Each structure stands twice: as C-alpha cells, then as structure tokens.
Structure 1
C-alpha cells in the first residue's frame, strides 16, 4: 500500500574501534531468526517492543528498555517478535578481546542483565559509534562496558585510583598534548603508560575533572578558534586541528562555543 512504512529497517557498519566486529541497528515487525550461532558476543539493548528468544534450548522473554541482552559465541539461539509492533534493537558484536570465551557459561545461565548503568553506557557507546571521528571516545566507552560485563560474568571489581592517580594523569595529559592533531587510541595510551584503560581514565578524571577524550576535544577546539579568527576555512581548520572532517568539527564546536565554526570565523576578531 502506498505510504505504508517499511516492515523492516536495518543499518549495519563496521567501526574503526578494536573489539567491535559490527554495529547493527534494526526494527523488525514480523521477522523470526532461525536457530544459529555467532563467532562473536551479541550485546543487545531494546529501544522499543519485546523479543522472545531461545538460548541453548531455554526460552527467554525480554521486554522494554531497561535490560541488556548478552548472547555468547558458539551457543545456538533464535529470536522472534512478540507483538504486531515488533521491536527495535541496537546490537554490538564483540570479539574475544573484549570478553574471553571462558565466560560463556555465565552468559548462558543469565543472558538478560538488569543493569541500568550498563544499559546507559551501551547507549552512550552507540552514540559515539554513530559519529566518525569519535573513535577515541568510543574506545573509552567500550572499556567501561567491558568492565561492567566482567562484573556480571566473573565478579571482577573496578580498581579505585590510589596515590599514583595524579602522576599517571599528568603523564597521560602530556601524551595527549603531544598528539593533539594526530590523536591516539586508548590502547596506545594504556600500553605507553603501562596501565589498564579504565584505570587510566579514572585517574585522569579524578585529577582533571573530565575524561581524556573530552580533554583532547577541548584542546582541538581551542586551536580551531585561533585558526578561524585568522580567516581559515572551516573545512581546512577541521583537518588542521585533528578532527575527522568539517561535520565532526561543526558538531563539537557548536556544542562547546554555541555557534558554528563558519559564523564564528566570519567575526574576524572585531566587535560589531
């Protein structure tokens, strides 16, 4: 029928973030997955509706937006809609570098996790993954998602920053300051400073009051303001200060300064 909304909507991509094999967003109204397995972990949140699924021949129901579903690799599962409205889901397919396969048993026993903090962190990760150029932020957010999943699966508790926090934070800040344009990954920073990624982020936040990716973005915005007032084009400024492209600069610049780079640069440094 003309004008009828499509019954299925799917968006999928492979991000440039280590550990994430695929991002998958979908709206299904009448789809039923046959029994199958994945080589990856299936980390899913629902944005609407309900889904019925079997994992290792045990059926489960997931309804609403409060829970997180975690399906382990190599274990048969299916899935189907429950109501005529179907369901909307966002999925991250994670490889063994995020969760080792030895944790499979815990996920089979309890694939539905009632954890509001984990759900919020996964949502924030999806948001970062949707913006090219925000890979450092996405990698940081994935590190906290991984840590939270480990809390559920093998009861590992986060380490609280100790007396070394300030020194480690200063070293990370120096590293970020030396790589403002080129940038770096969280993995590179953690390896260079011999620290666990989430511990490194906590030390930095405790010392400076913001996470490393936010600090790096702020430094880039400061450089962009200087170049824009010199009359440089926003597209040129974006790459000159380390942003992915002009759209990436526009989004962060407007959030920080309250005006687009183009309008800011047209001021020319003179009052009206």
Structure 2
C-alpha cells in the first residue's frame, strides 16, 4: 500500500536490538511482554496498552524487560505520512496509552494482513495520522460537516465499484484532505467509505450469482481479489457463502 513500505510481525525471546535508526516512521503495537529502549538519550518503556511512534533518523535500541520476551507488530510509514516538524515531538513523547488509537492501529494491521483491503487500510491510516497529529500538538483545524463532499465521494465510489479508487486519488479528485473525506462520509452515511464500497461489491456479486455466474468469476467481475475475498465479505453480510447462495437461489429457499 502507498505510504507503507514494510510490515513486520515478530516474537523475540532473547534478542536485543542494538542502537540503530530507520529512514521511516515506526508504528508499533506490543501484544505481549514489556520493552525497554533508549531514544533521544532517554530511556522509555512500552507495555501492551501503548502505541509507539518512533521518528525516522533517530537512533534507538530495544530489549525485553522480562524473561518471557515480547511479541510486536510494526508498520513502517514513509516520510510522507508525518512531516519533519513532528520529529522532536515524537522524540519527547514516543508512546501513548490511548485505547482508541490502539484499536485503530490494530485494525490497520488486520487490513494490511489481508492485502485485499487497500481502501480500508488507507482510511484506517488517515484516522491514525489525524489522531497522532492531535496528540503531538499539530492537529489541523477541524472542517465543518460537509454533506456535499460525502455525496460526491459516494458518487465517485458508485462510478468505480469494480475498479475501486484509492483514498489519495479520491482526495485529489474532490480537492479535499483524505481524513476529511473519511470523516465527512462516515458522518453522513454511518459507515466508512471502504465499508460502503465492499457492500456495493457484494450486491454486484449477488446479482451476478443470480444470473448463473460461478462464484469465482462473480468475485472478479464484482471487484474482489478472488473467490475467498468475496466469500469472507459475502458471509458476513448475507450469512451464507456465495456457493451456497448460488445453489439455493434456484430452489427459492431462504438463504439465511
């Protein structure tokens, strides 16, 4: 995904990182254990309730603070995600015990792991970026509620159900900031844009199945990556698999 050059999920029992630096921002969740590290000549500790953002170009180390090691999930973000003006703020306060932020970073990891939910991942990242900007003291002024913008984005999604649209392209087309787009759409329609697009694709696949298209072909024609990608969303929305739906539609029996 654009802006995310690497994702790392790892567990370490004894390994201790020596001092080193990345050329990316390091967004980390700790799923087990406690980690101690040095950053900017200060020692810090990380627990599982924290979200940590380490700035690029600043040396740090890291090791487990207990005998059980630690397990972490890291998303590396390129320098387009946060400006250089936030480096010093991140050095001063690299970790936050913020439940909402932690949930959003977890959701980003889940979306990235699937490798099929680019719009969802971009939307999650936009909201994470906004949260950090607020916590680090560089939040942009909040825009007013723009129903027209939300409807413009819906029209754009409706016009590209199969092809899809990236959040960055939508923002450029609609002359808005990606985070503003996500917020305006969610406020107006009660769901984020990626969820709306997925629902439209499921409905398209459903119609294709009713015309006799096999599930694998219906998945691709509806804009899904493959049949398993369709099946996951189809079951969640309709309570059955595409194959079972296709088999039941000719009998007239309910598909719940």
User: TM-score interval w.r.t. the shorter chain?
Assistant: over 0.9
In the aligned structure 2, how far is the partner of 1:158 from the partner of 1:267? Answer: 52
Matched, 1:204 2:193: no
Matched, 1:214 2:214: no
Partner of residue 139 from structure 2, selected from 150, 156, 178: 156
In the aligned structure 2, how far is the partner of 1:116 from the partner of 1:88? Answer: 19
Question: Displacement, 1:62?
Answer: 1.4
**Partner of 2:49 in structure 1?**
66
Q: Return 5+ residue gaps in structure 1 as ranges.
A: 1-16
- Deviation readout 1:149-180 (Å, 9 max, x if unpaired): 11122331561433xx1211111111111100
Runs of 4 or more off by more than 4 Å in structure 1?
none
- Deviation readout 1:209-255 (Å, 9 max, x if unpaired): 11111111111111111111222111111110000111110111111
In the aligned structure 2, how far is the partner of 1:177 from the partner of 1:161? Answer: 24
In the aligned structure 1, how far is the partner of 2:68 from the partner of 2:147? Answer: 52
Which residues in structure 2 correspond to 1:161-176 (within 5 Å)? 161-162=144-145, 165-176=146-157
**Partner of 1:130 in structure 2?**
113
The DSSP-based 3-state class of the residue aligned with 2:33 is strand
Matched, 1:98 2:91: no
Q: What's the C-alpha RMSD, in Å, of the aligned pairs?
A: 1.3
- Deviation readout 1:38-83 (Å, 9 max, x if unpaired): 00011111111111111122211112x2111111111110001122
In the aligned structure 1, how far is the partner of 2:57 from the partner of 2:182? Answer: 33
| Residues matched between the structures, number | 253
In the aligned structure 2, how far is the partner of 1:86 from the partner of 1:42? Answer: 20
In the aligned structure 2, how far is the partner of 1:222 from the partner of 1:18? Answer: 28
**Partner of 1:178 in structure 2?**
159
- Deviation readout 1:109-134 (Å, 9 max, x if unpaired): 11121211111110011111111220
The DSSP-based 3-state class of the residue aligned with 1:253 is helix
**Partner of 2:218 in structure 1?**
237
Question: Displacement, 1:144?
Answer: 0.5
**Partner of 1:259 in structure 2?**
240
Structure 2 length-normalised TM: 0.95
Q: Return 5+ residue gaps in structure 2 as ranges.
A: none
In the aligned structure 1, how far is the partner of 2:207 from the partner of 2:79? Answer: 44
**Partner of 1:11 in structure 2?**
none
In the aligned structure 1, how far is the partner of 2:102 from the partner of 2:141? Answer: 18
Structure 1 length-normalised TM: 0.90
Conserved? CA contact 1:150–1:156, under 8 Å: yes
Conserved? CA contact 1:161–1:202, under 8 Å: no
The DSSP-based 3-state class of the residue aligned with 1:52 is strand
In the aligned structure 2, how far is the partner of 1:267 from the partner of 1:230? Answer: 13
Conserved? CA contact 1:132–1:248, under 8 Å: no
Q: 1:158 to 1:126 in 2, by over 3 A?
A: farther
